[in-house]
Amino acid sequence: MTLSLTNTAKTYADGTRALKPTKLDIAQGEIVSLLGPSGCGKSTLLRIIAGLETPDEGAKLLFDGEDFTRFPVEKRKVGMVFQSYALFPNMSVRGNIGYGLKMQKLPKTEINRRVDEVITLCQLEPYAARPINALSGGQRQRVALARAFAPRPRLLLLDEPLSALDAALRGQLCDELAQLLRSFGITAIFVTHDQDEAMAIADRVAVMSHGEIAQIGTPEVLYRAPQSEFVARFIGAAMPLGRHIDDNTLHFETGSLNLAGSQAGKKAFIRAEDVRLDDTGPLRAKVISVTFLGTHYRIALAGLAPDPVFALHSALSAPKVGDTVGVAINPAAILMLPSDKKAA
């Protein structure tokens, strides 16, 4: 393991418990995303790794076996991309990118060579001599990345690097960023509260909730085998299904489904893409709203659970509000999860 955190917690001076004791291991070259709702402690964890916050007593941070828990920021050799980019307004693009190399006291020719290299890699050639305030948001984002990467840090940390951009640009830069990080071949930790961003960029995603890592795994595992209600709801927006479970039967107002084996004490969840409108289906539901989304309709149904359940319906036409429709659900698509009362 390249980076390994044990028992890392953070209590702020005002008593806020931002991070509960956390364990995290990251392999060489791996890109890990910290994903979670606002205020769940993502930035806190990232800033502890960067050395910008001191963890509570008892934490241990190792890098390739070396304990760096007490190292100051400037000795940690981590590159950091801030949400606001924090580019130095008193320097040009070149000056910003070369600053880390200057701090390493490299000779001038070497600095110039490596700055050129990174500028080419990040496709910043046309802007190299510009002052920072003459750049667009997307260009600033690339300069921030280039600046963090130029000194060849052991670890690259990114705190919501795309959130300052507008939605259209974000999608485009997200792919670009994923590609760049891969081409760097660097170990990176990436904070975001956007599920698509995390999935697109990361090898593994750590879903965080209320100051702890709820589950960590590849995007596929998180999506297909969430271990808790929180993860299921957060990744892919799973919805509770049915009224109650009675051994191996899931009961609805207007019917029931058989489940595989005894599921007593668990809760059933379903995703919108697995709810199929089918007049021959075993269940009945009432349409309460229909939203046209181009490729499909998003239909809210009453009668499948105490709350409305959404279905994605790909067809040329949709039922009308107030209609009663048949619904088919493949029992294999139902997620059976231990019920946690305190889920957000």
Instruction: Return residues touching other proteins (CB under 8 A).
Output: 50-52, 72-80, 82, 84, 86-90, 99-100, 103-104, 147-148, 151
Q: For the CB of residue 308, give the shortest distance to ligand ATP in the complex, in Å.
A: 28
Q: Which does 258 bind (CB under 5 to 8 A by kind): Mg ion, other proteins, ligand ATP, none?
A: none
Please say whether the dihedral angle defined by the alpha carbons of residues 167, 168, 169 and 174, taken in this order, is positive or negative. positive
Q: Which does 39 bind (CB under 5 to 8 A by kind): Mg ion, other proteins, ligand ATP, none?
A: ligand ATP
Cβ atoms of 252 and 281 closer than 8 Å = no
Nearer to ligand ATP, 153 or 211 (CB): 211
* Residue numbers 31-90 binding Mg ion by CB under 5 A: 43
Q: Is residue 215 a contact residue for ligand ATP (CB under 6 A)? A: no
Q: Which does 16 bind (CB under 5 to 8 A by kind): other proteins, Mg ion, ligand ATP, none?
A: ligand ATP
Q: For the CB of residue 90, give the shortest distance to other proteins in the complex, in Å.
A: 4
Q: For the CB of residue 72, give the shortest distance to Mg ion in the complex, in Å.
A: 22
Q: For the CB of residue 234, give the shortest distance to Mg ion in the complex, in Å.
A: 16
Q: For the CB of residue 294, give the shortest distance to ligand ATP in the complex, in Å.
A: 29
Q: Which does 140 bind (CB under 5 to 8 A by kind): ligand ATP, other proteins, Mg ion, none?
A: none
**Secondary structure of the chain as H, E, C letters:** CCEEEEEEEEECCCCCEEEEEEEEEECCCCEEEEECCCCCCHHHHHHHHHCCCCCCCCCEEEECCEECCCCCHHHCCEEEECCCCCCCCCCEHHHHHHHHHHHCCCCHHHHHHHHHHHHHHCCCHHHCCCEHHHCCHHHHHHHHHHHHHCCCCCEEEEECCCCCCCHHHHHHHHHHHHHHHHHHCCCEEEEECCHHHHHHHCCEEEEEECCEEEEEECHHHHHHCCCCHHHHHHCCCCEECCCEEECCEEEECCEEEECCCCCCCEEEEECHHHEEECCCCCEEEEEEEEEECCCCEEEEEECCCCCCEEEEECCCCCCCCCCEEEEEECHHHCEEEECCCCCC
Binding mask 167-206 for ligand ATP (x = CB under 6 A): --------------------------x-------------
Tell me the residue number closest to ligand ATP, measured at CB.
43
Binding mask 31-70 for ligand ATP (x = CB under 6 A): -----x-xxxxxxx--------------------------
Q: Which does 139 bind (CB under 5 to 8 A by kind): other proteins, Mg ion, ligand ATP, none?
A: none
For ligand ATP, the binding residues (CB under 6 A) are 12, 14, 16, 18, 36, 38-44, 193
